Amino acid sequence: MTPVVCLDVGSTFTKALLVDLDDAVVLGAAEHPTTVGTDVLEGVDACVARLDAADAPLLVCSSAGGGLRIAVVGNEELVTAEAGRRVALSSGGKVVAVVAAAAGPFGLDDLAGPDVVLLTGGTDGGNAEVVVGAARRLKRAGWRGPVVAAGNADAADEVRAALAGLPVVVAPNVVPRIGELRPEGARAAMREMFLSHVIGGKQLSAGDRFASLVRGATPDVVLTGVEVLAAAVGPVVVVDVGGATTDVHSVVELDAETGALAREVVAATPVTRTVEGDLGMRWSAVSTAEAAGLDDLADAAAARAADPSWLPATETDHDDDEALARAATGLALRRHAGRARVVVGPEGRVIERSGVDLREVGLVVLSGGVLRHGRPGVADRVLAGSTGRDVEGGWQLPERPRVVVDARYLLAAVGLLAEGYPDTASRLAATLADDARSRPT
């Protein structure tokens, strides 16, 4: 038996799984409040002690201290800024600002206090001044933190010069040509910046041990876990209903014919993540109720927002929690999936669509405390009204998916194991799929 401890140091709780690398099974689990007020390693070490795994290697991801906050600076909003926003989300960050440099000067307040700036602009071989000008405006605004530059490749040297004195990583262009989006290089560069400049800068721990343990931002690691799961079972969507946000991760197969007909300046990608900052169970409970028109839950939502550590105690409490979770899940899935419709114009027959086509997704994984600690049948009740069978109007929602709850935080562990132990990661992900197959469609 070769055990390893996979830890997710969250903003509220630190979760740990002890995984046997040889048999790809979970040997134990532990949880402890994240000790942000003192040193996050206290919570980490407490989990390790409960697992009696002092000699096991540690694989860690973290969203403590606010996670990874990203501001996107592009030349203009339609193409490069939107592309940057989508890449930033896929990198596991919370997008706190999107700035179109072509609109004119901007200041630090416009960036909204990010950890990293993602700089985009121009297609490869195009006008170099697009991204160079954005870099100069960023420096002129007074930004002195890390930058990932992922614009026109031909302008890389000029961008470095414009940002001299700042920590800069130059990544491949996220929009090498109009209609094409390539997030992989920027996503890897963002992970590098998170590890080298963000984790240590948040002062979560007194020494450098914690920074040396962290492999990535939790949402980035989870998305990697979703990719591993999709490689084993096909198209998948994961909905994580949290206290402050509801995140949707999806991996789908793009339809070449549909893609050719679709009118999109920024192309769709197989791997997508969206973060809905107004949808959540505690901090964002009020805006969730408002967005869903749940006027009868206004008082319950306000009470949850006032005390984010509150836990349901009665059947009515659970009913209200499930209603909020159902609203957050339904709205987040619709925003992620978008709509599709066929129109005929001067260019002939085209498809106007937004979002990610989830209709052929065969597996929906639900995550979050309300699902993990809910009453029997909570998954079906929360997802009710959020599939293609239930909703009309062109929403590209899953038609007949199997549904499972990630009750053991497996996806974070799978993502942590993916690089060093890919076989274990794949087999561990398959157990989640097996759980889904045991449930009726």
- Of 41-50, 267-276, 312-321, 378-387, the poorest mean pLDDT is in 267-276
Per the listing, tokens 């940057």 go with 84
Residue 25 and residue 90: Cα distance in Å, rounded?
28
CB 193 within 8 A of CB 215: no
* Structure confidence at residue 261 (pLDDT): 41
**Confidence grade of residue 170 (pLDDT, cut at 50, 70, 90):** very high
Whether residue 207 is predicted with pLDDT greater than 70 in this model: the reply is yes
* Structure confidence at residue 347 (pLDDT): 61
Q: What is the DSSP letter of 274?
A: E
Domains of the chain: 3-64 (3.30.420.300), 66-197 (3.40.50.2300), 235-407 (no CATH)
CB 14 within 8 A of CB 8: yes
Per the listing, tokens 């069978």 go with 389
Average pLDDT over residues 96-108: 89
Q: What is the pLDDT of residues 109-166, one digit of tens each?
A: 999 999 999 999 888 998 888 899 999 999 999 999 999 999 999 999 999 999 999 9
CB 190 within 8 A of CB 215: no
**Residues constituting the chain:** 441
- According to DSSP, the β-strands at 236-241 and 246-251 are antiparallel
Provide, rounded to the nearest whole percent, the portion of the chain with pLDDT above 70.
92
CB 159 within 8 A of CB 121: no
Token digits for 234?
Answer: 């096909």
* Structure confidence at residue 226 (pLDDT): 96
More confident residue, 64 or 155: 155
- φ/ψ of 415, rounded to 5, equals -65, -40
Q: What is the pTM of this model?
A: 0.85
Helices (H) and strands (E) in the chain, counts: 16, 17
Q: Which residues of 368-414 form beta strands (DSSP E)?
A: 402-405
**Within a 13 Å sphere around the CA of 334, how many CA atoms are in the beta-carbon half?**
18
Residue 327 and residue 288: Cα distance in Å, rounded?
7
Closest CA to 84 of 71, 103, 94: 71
Average pLDDT over residues 27-55: 95
- Of 164-173, 221-230, 268-277, the poorest mean pLDDT is in 268-277
Residue 176 and residue 165: Cα distance in Å, rounded?
27
**Confidence grade of residue 259 (pLDDT, cut at 50, 70, 90):** very low
- Of 33-47, 74-88, 184-198, 393-407, the poorest mean pLDDT is in 74-88
Provide, rounded to the nearest whole percent, the portion of the chain with pLDDT above 90.
63
Q: Which residues of 22-108 form beta strands (DSSP E)?
A: 25-33, 58-62, 69-74, 94-100
Whether residue 258 is predicted with pLDDT greater than 70 in this model: the reply is no
| Contacts of 13 by beta carbon, 8 Å cutoff, 6+ apart | 31, 32, 33, 34
Average pLDDT over residues 29-33: 94
Token digits for 315?
Answer: 């059947």
More confident residue, 121 or 351: 121
CB 119 within 8 A of CB 150: yes
* Structure confidence at residue 295 (pLDDT): 97
**Confidence grade of residue 256 (pLDDT, cut at 50, 70, 90):** low
Residue 118: count of CB within 10 angstroms of its CB? 32
- According to DSSP, the β-strands at 246-251 and 271-276 are antiparallel
